[in-house]
Amino acid sequence: MGKRTTILALAGLLAGCGSGGGGPDGGQPVSCGAGSAEALMACVSRTDYQADLGFVAAERPPGSEHHGAVRAMCADRFEALGYQVELYDYGTGVDVIGVKAGAVVPDERVLVAAHYDHIPGCAGADDNGSGVAGLLQVAGALARAELERSLVVACWDEEERGLIGSAAYAQRAHDRAERIVANFTFEMIGVKKTEPGSQTLPAGLDLLFPDQAAELDENEYRGDFIALVYDTSHSQQPVADMTALGETVGLSSIGLGLSDALKNSDLVSDLRRSDHAPFWMADLPGIMITDTSEFRYPQYHCYDGDDVVANLDPDFSVQVIQATVGAAALAAGLR
C-alpha cells in the first residue's frame, strides 16, 4: 500500500515546489500532480496559503462574527473540493469535518486538522491562523489523490477553551470504534527563527529528551525547525515519512516521541496543549506539528506584542504543509 519507496529516489528535487522556484542546487521542481507523494506536495500554493492566512488572522473568539466566517470558510472550501461536509454541533461549539471516502478500506481513516478559534483581543495569525490556512492547502492537494483509506479534514472549535471541539470528536470516534490510523494536528506552523538563542525549552524537557536537547545545543538553540510531538505506539511511521519528505524541501524537524506510559502524564503537560491530546486519551493516534509557540514566539496569545501575519515566515509554513501532504498521502495509501 502507498508509494513510500519513491521518497529517497526523489530527494532534493522538490525544494522550492509550490513557490515557483527550483531546488537549492538548481534542480527542477516536481510538477503538481497526483501520481506520487512528491507530486502532491508540489500542489501546495504559497500564494493561496497567504491569502487564506490573511483572511483568518483577525480576532475570532467563539460566537464572534469572524469566528463564524472562518467556520463557513472551512465548510465552503471542503465542499468545493468534493469532501462530504458535516457541521458537528456538539453542544457548545461546531466542528467542521470533511470526508473523502477511501477507495479500498474506507473504514480506516487518516485525519488532518487545525483549530479555528482564538482568544479575544488577539488576531491569532500564528495561533492558529497558520494551521487553518495550512489545513486548507492539505485538503486541496489531497483532493486530487486516489486514496485507499478515507481522508478526514477538520477545523476544530473551542481549542482555546480546553480542547473542547477535538475532545468531542475523539470521544465520538472512540464510541464508534473509528479506525484512525494517523492523525496530523497543525498547532502554529508559521514562525521560524535563525538567530542563536531564539529557541527555549519547557522545564525538564532536556531530561526526558537528552538527544534532542543535544541537537538543539549543537545548533545554538535556533528556532529553525518544526517540532513533531507524537505517540510512539501509533505514529512512528507517519513521523518518519514526514521527516524524510520534509528534508527534500529543506525542512528541519525534531521528533519528540512519547510512550503510552508517558503521553498522558502531567510530566509532559506542555506537550499536550493542543488537539492531538484528546486522541491520546482515547488511545488513538496523534501528532502535534508545531513551531513550539511561546518557546520561540513571544507574541503567542499577544503576550509580548501582536500575533500578526507580518511576524510569520510563509516559506517555512509551505515546507511544513508540503511535508504533511506527502506523509498524509502515504498514510492514506496513495494509489
pLDDT in tens, the chain (335 residues): 433 333 333 333 333 344 433 333 345 679 999 999 999 999 999 999 999 999 999 999 999 999 999 999 999 999 999 999 999 999 999 999 999 999 999 999 999 999 999 999 999 999 999 999 999 999 999 999 999 999 999 999 999 999 999 999 999 999 999 999 999 999 999 999 999 999 999 999 999 999 999 999 999 999 999 999 999 999 999 999 999 999 999 999 999 999 999 999 999 999 999 999 999 999 999 999 999 999 999 999 999 999 999 999 999 999 999 999 999 999 999 99
pLDDT at residue 14, rounded to an integer:
36
Return d(Cα 121, Cα 306) in angstroms, integer: 10
Q: How far is CA 299 from CA 134, 188, 191, 308, 332, in A?
A: 20, 12, 10, 9, 35
pLDDT at 20: 37
* Amino acid letter for position 262: L
Provide the CATH number for the domain around residue 19: 3.40.630.10
Return d(Cα 61, Cα 46) in angstroms, integer. 27
pLDDT computed for residue 28 by the predictor? 64
Amino acid at 321: I
H helix intervals, 192-235: 205-208, 210-218
Q: Are 44 and 27 in contact (CB under 8 A)?
A: no
Domain hosting residue 34, numbered range: 4-331
The cell numbers describing 194, all together, are: 535563525
Q: What is this structure's pTM?
A: 0.92
Does residue 183 contact residue 239 with C-beta atoms inside 8 Å? no
What whole-number distance in Å separates Cα of residue 45 and Cα of residue 17? Answer: 9
Asked if residues 199 and 216 have their Cβ atoms less than 8 Å apart, the reply is yes
Query: According to the model, what pLDDT value does residue 27 have?
Result: 53
> How is residue 180 written as a grid cell?
484512525
Q: Which of 167, 35, 8 is nearest to 90 (CA)?
A: 167
AA identity, residue 5: T
Note the pLDDT of residue 29: 78
Q: Where are the alpha helices (DSSP H) in 60-176?
A: 65-80, 131-142, 164-175
- Look at the alpha carbons of 267, 268, 270, 274 in this order and tell me if their dihedral is positive or negative: negative
Q: What's residue 24's pLDDT?
A: 32
Domain count, the chain: 1
Question: What single letter denotes the amino acid at residue 188?
Answer: M
